[in-house]
Structures are given as structure tokens and as C-alpha cells.
Amino acid sequence: MDRSFTMSGAAGEFPIRRIYNRTIVDELRRKQVKLGFRFGGRSNVEWAGHPNWYFRISKFSIPYLRHESVPKTWFLDQLKQIPGRFGETML
């Protein structure tokens, strides 16, 4: 059965078409959280990863990625000098 989601507000009821998913599945399993729905269940919404959310990848891979949404990173053994001001750098 397809499922629709709505949100009620002062101006009435509105359909929800997209849900930004920031769920950490490992935490749900570890804490044994029981949800009232299934992520894989049929619904009339688009499940979208949040723009600030990273997929589950190794941190080792990040210096190889070049994209505006990926923070600039370097391997320390290949760094000739610390970029920018030291106080603004995370090691």
C-alpha cells in the first residue's frame, strides 16, 4: 500500500513530497529503536539524503574527492605547509 504524508499548519494541511533523511542506521540498531514506518516501505515521498550529510565512506578517501560540497583535505605526510591560518585548520 502506498503511503502519503501530510503536515498540518495554520494555513491548512500540506502534502509532504520530500523527506531529508539524516538517520544514522547503526544508532537505530544499537539503541533498538522501533520506528512506526519502514525506510524501504512504499510511500509517496522522495527520501533524500541531506545536502550536508556524507555517505558512509572511508575517511581515507576524502582527500581524493574534489567537489564543492567536499571539504578540502590533504594527507599530512604530503602537506608542505599548513593551508590558511593554523587556527582555522583541523587536524
pLDDT at 39 over 70: no
CA 79 to chain centre: 29
Q: Is the pLDDT of residue 1 over 70?
A: no
- 72: nearest Cα among 63, 80, 60: 63
**What average pLDDT does this structure show over 76-87?**
77
